[in-house]
Structure 1
């Protein structure tokens, strides 16, 4: 919704075929890459102490690494995940890979380069500034 409403036509491709690829990537990112990270986060700090199950952490790390291998096979080092422009899929993947690095996961070199390239986009810096200003205002 946000990409369609406020993305000025820049985050979602016009082509139906490319839009389907973006949707496919978004599903993969959320279900296969982000899910084990969130599982780790819940059992490290988000859940109440008595609900945490530390024994799931190695399995979640294994799931994440397995998903990264699948991602690396499909990604093939191109500038963007779909077509020639930055899309919502790139935004999601950059955010998720940044989260993974903050959790001390090692990324394959092509994904390190991908994340660095997109994490240095001027729009991301502007968004981070707005987020920080909003946090300080409360």
Structure 2
């Protein structure tokens, strides 16, 4: 059984949702960042972490890639052109959407007050709106990779939810509709405690 360390309101939700999609048993330790449980798994105190066979894997995308590869679901096989395209879009989401949201979050309440630059948030909102527009331009649906749901969908949906909660500009309609469909999935509902 997998053990997911991280509160479901963090990026740990991505891992919990994937495990539900995969139908794999797990336990969740809802640890907050920098808690003793988080520090036990990662010297930086970041979550999530995955404990499996006595080993710890950190970083939500690394964890998800491992799980998808191990179970042969929610990903294209390593070494294929489809996987290369999947990895490219996954990195685009992490770099251009997740990274912008995380930077804004740090300057709103994560950094010590004397290190925050709240004025940067307006620029980050502009950057997010531009970047989510680029994502919408390439999106054909029903999933990021067309007919196949992959870990990129979990990351993108999580980011769209995060942006909404952070009062960032609304995503283009096709991505807003996509996120609504993704949130209605049984696995999403179970991971969020609603199913």
Specify if TM > 0.5. Answer: yes
Give the whole-Å Cα distance in 1 for the aligned partners of 2:144 and 2:77.
Answer: 15
The SS at the match of 1:43 is helix
Give the whole-Å Cα distance in 1 for the aligned partners of 2:184 and 2:190.
Answer: 11
Tell me: higher relative CO, structure 1 or 2? Use CA pairs within 8 A at least 6 residues apart.
1
User: Where in structure 2 are there 5+ consecutive unaligned residues?
Assistant: 1-61
Aligned to 1:71: 135
Deviation, 1:4, is 5.2
- Scaled by the length of structure 1, the TM-score of the pair is 0.85
Question: In proportion to residue count, which structure has more helix?
Answer: 1
Aligned to 1:27: 91
Q: Does 1:94 align with 2:153?
A: no
Deviation, 1:5, is 4.6
Q: Does 1:43 align with 2:43?
A: no
Question: C-alpha root-mean-square deviation of aligned residues, in Å?
Answer: 1.8
The SS at the match of 2:119 is helix
- Scaled by the length of structure 2, the TM-score of the pair is 0.61
Give the whole-Å Cα distance in 2 for the aligned partners of 1:97 and 1:13.
Answer: 23
Q: 2:147 aligns with which of 84, 96, 100?
A: 84
Aligned to 1:104: 167
- Does structure 2 conserve the Cα–Cα contact (< 8 Å) formed by 1:33 and 1:64? yes
Give the whole-Å Cα distance in 2 for the aligned partners of 1:4 and 1:35.
Answer: 18
Displaced runs of 4 or more, over 6 A: none
Give the whole-Å Cα distance in 2 for the aligned partners of 1:109 and 1:102.
Answer: 17
Question: In proportion to residue count, which structure has more strand?
Answer: 2
